[in-house]
A = this chain, B = another copy of it.
Amino acid sequence: MGLIVQKFGGSSVANAERVMNVAQIVTETYKAGNDVIVVVSAQGDTTDDLIAKGKEINPAGSKREMDMLMSAGEQISIALLAMAIEKLGFRVVSLLGWQAGFESSSVYGAARIKRINCDRLRTEIGQHRIVVVAGFQGLNKYDDITTFGRGGSDTSAVAIAAAMHADKCQIYTDVDGVYTADPRKISNAVKLDEITYDEMLELATLGAQVLNNRSVEMAKKYNVELEVLSSLERKPGTIVKEANNKMERMLISGVAKDTDVSRISVIGVADEPGIAFKIFSRLAAKHINVDIILQSVGRENTKDISFTVARGQGDEAVEIVKQFTSSVSGKDIVVDNNVAKVSIVGAGMESHPGVAAKMFEALYNARVNIQMIATSEIKISVLINQDDADRAVTAIHAAFFD
């Protein structure tokens, strides 16, 4: 009994049959005595198809018009889901982002949710209707439609759950929860019953791709309990919530692999103060996120600086570093795309100093060479040769979970 927000992604509503399946899940939740607000994405490839239509006409079309174009996708899926729910005999109403009260910043294509005016949502819930809301979209101060960027529908769902003080926010996907490793690769990967917001944030960053970071950050901020579960199976998923005593018994919660990495090494820069600052401030100015940084002493009063960036930003990062080094102390720049980042994440590792050693031992036994190491309070990442990545994940997973 309570208010439950359920979010279904594009693949969960990709065709008529799946829309009916979602309608079943939603109405079962309603029949169990809950109020239900459902957030849906555009069907299947609809968003990509709409973008392609726009790009065909004008590859440099404005982001305002692109948002107008894309947001039609969710409009179609909310109407279809509402009709499916009507077919099952329940009272329902679909609402566009602006009808549901989503007020956003003005940045088209990547708007932030500023506020949800819940009046209409409350009215519809008060009339015992199931409410189907278009994810990913809001309205800015000019009364123009905006979209929220990648993972925007997850963020919409968490924002509604926070604003409406929902009891739970269920994120339905095509996996049935969060695993200790990619279950397609690691046969004995274990599904987690619970995980903390911070662990989930690290796993999302590390390429587990179950939940978008923004939505987890918002859930953490407003203490919204999330559940990640499958729309194709009827079984409990993984709960994402604040740490508690029970959860802390688990040393690490997952092993993740990220191959979307480039390593850039600047060899033999002058060993003088401010070089690192100058390089990384230039990268930051161009919105390039640097992940792991390693600085080592080179030969003859020089030093070597290595860092990793997302693969897609590798070329731009090299250009920026080249311009800088040629103007100051032009040296060799080496780019390595054949790398992978493998990480373990666990809220328990803070109080267990042996975790890093155990990870490194597993890698040593598997003959995996470590290029770089980075640590945070709940994460240890190593950069290794990409060819070793799957072997490394298997070895680490076995060391901690077998």
Contacts and interface: CB of A to CB of B under 8 A. Distances in A.
Given A62-B83, A86-B62, A99-B143, A68 B57 contact: no
A58 B89 CA distance: 11
Interface string A72-112: 11011011101110110000011010010000000000000
A331 interface: no
B86 A58 contact: yes
B94 A79 contact: no
A79 B58 contact: no
Interface residues of A, number: 38
Interface in A335-382: none
Contact of A57 (B61, B83, B143): B83
A83 B99 contact: no
A286 interface: no
Interface in A38-58: 50, 53-54, 56-58
Count identical subunits in the complex. 2
Nearest to A55: B83
A250 interface: no
A66 interface: yes
A1 interface: no
A71 B80 contact: no
A109 to B, nearest CB: 13
B68 A75 contact: yes
A120 interface: yes
Nearest to A99: B143
Given A53-B16, A60-B87, A99-B143, A94 B68 contact: yes
Contact of A84 (B57, B68, B80, B87): B57
B80 A53 contact: yes
A240 interface: no
A20 interface: yes
Interface in A268-322: none
5 contacts: A54-B79, A58-B87, A60-B87, A65-B94, A68-B75
Q: 3 closest pairs, A vs B, by CB?
A: A61-B83, A69-B79, A58-B83
